[in-house]
Amino acid sequence: MRRRWFDKWFDLHGRYRLPRDQRASPRTSGRHIAERITKASHQREAKAMAKTQWDELWNKANPTTAITLRRMTKMPDTVEGPSLYKGMHRPMATTLAQLRTGHCRLNQYLWRFKKVDNADCDKCGYQRETVEHFLTECPAYYGVRRDLEKALGPEAMTVAFLLGNREAAKATMEFVKKTGRLKA
């Protein structure tokens, strides 16, 4: 004889069963009708719980990582996730993701891993070649940046907008391509 274990709240067919005191009776006229537990509802609940846990870890555990991305995601009209990269070629999407996180071939990042001697900008000598310096400040790329500014407007020349808005991100990738700075 084989024994099978059953959860006390489910019947033999996998339907949820309320405790006796909560079951509908003729007097309650179905006030406590239980919803059927489905695989999809379990998945939704697990996703929601994972997102909540991730948000807590992301915001509290290590606030010094991905500072550029954190600043960007707080801005209004910032697109996040796969919808930002939809329709982009893989190399372009990869470069965009690297710029958004700050993990790219700029000297500030490479210096952290001792791949270059210092974090200075090779083109202008500024003390830290960051994503912000590269996209909005470096005088060596003034001409190319001017074209980007004409296309998007002067109010769009912030890192959050350049890397967080879908149309601006495409124009920014053209800027990156023209500068040739992030080639391998």
Label residue 32 by pLDDT band (50, 70, 90).
very low
User: DSSP per residue over the chain, as a string?
Assistant: -------TTB-TTS-B---GGGS--TTTTTTTPPPPP-HHHHHHHHHHHHHHHHHHIIIII-TTSSHHHHHHHTSTT---THHHHTT--HHHHHHHHHHHHT-SSSHHHHHHTTSSS--S-TTT--S---HHIIIII-GGGHHHHHHHHHHH-GGG-SHHHHHHSHHHHHHHHHHHHHH-TT--
Q: Quick one: pLDDT at residue 133?
A: 95
Give the integer Cα–Cα distance in Å for 24 and 132: 63
The pair phi, psi for residue 15, each rounded to 5°, is -90, 145
pLDDT in tens, 171-180: 999 999 999 9
pTM (global) more than 0.75: no
Q: How far apart are CA 12 and CA 5, in angstroms?
A: 10
| Angle ∠(82,83,84) on CA atoms, nearest 5 | 90
Length of the chain equals 184
* Residue 175: CB atoms within 10 Å: 20
Q: Does residue 29 have a pLDDT over 60?
A: no
Whole-number pLDDT of residue 24? 58
